[in-house]
Amino acid sequence: MKKIILLCAAVMCVALIGCTQDTTTGSSDADGSPKIAVVDPAKVFQDSKPGKDGMAYLEKVSAEVQKEFQDLQQKAAQGKGQSPESVNDIQAKVAKIQERVTAEQQMVVNKLNELFQKVLEKYRNEKGVAVVIPAEQALSYDASADATADIVAMMDKEDVTFETPMPALEKENPGAVKQGETKADDAKKDAAKPEAAPEKKSDAKQ
């Protein structure tokens, strides 16, 4: 999960870099200098409700995946000397699980990033800020420039639903959909086949 936190923080940093405005036309302080705010993306992800919900969702997925892996390991241990087809089947299921984990993680990161960018723009427009930068990139700044707490509060007001990108049926039984499609295809093929012509009786005399 630490890798996911770092990934989200990295993606949010990219969002921050893009959340800027030309300082010649942006808002400025009384002395004419552009108004700048700093934000800690990692803290936003860890402290905000959407970030916590995203982590909880991935932990749930992780628990499900661990159970699936254990079941496959048990099956592999019990089936020593099994046929190549069985081995290939297990390997295919492992690959499917890994695909699901990657898809779930990417879905959470994308949703959090979209929300983060939306909130940053809203904050910048409401507060008249010209530039928002990641706190880790600022060599020094006054506490009054830190907008992290405000961004967390704004994130908490947003609703985010984390749903698996895979159809429920496919998640529960990866082969169910494909098998169903195969049966349907077979039925179509059978229907399309021309009926066999009746066998002709031989007129040859015995």
Query: Which tens digit of pLDDT belongs to each residue from 105-148?
Result: 999 999 999 999 999 999 999 999 999 999 999 999 999 999 99
More confident residue, 144 or 189: 144
Report which residue type is found at 102.
T
Q: What is the pLDDT of residue 182?
A: 43
d(CA 176, CA 171): 9
Query: Mean of the pLDDT values across residues 34-55?
Result: 95
For the chain, the structural domain boundaries read 2-169
Neighbouring CB atoms inside 10 A of 103's CB total 14
pTM for the full predicted model: 0.64
CATH architecture, domain 2-169 = 2-Layer Sandwich (3.30)
Q: How far is CA 140 from CA 33, 36, 135, 136, 144, in A?
A: 16, 12, 9, 9, 12
Q: In this predicted model, what pLDDT tens digit does every residue of 52-109 receive, in sequence order? A: 999 999 999 999 999 998 888 887 777 666 677 777 888 888 899 999 999 999 999 9
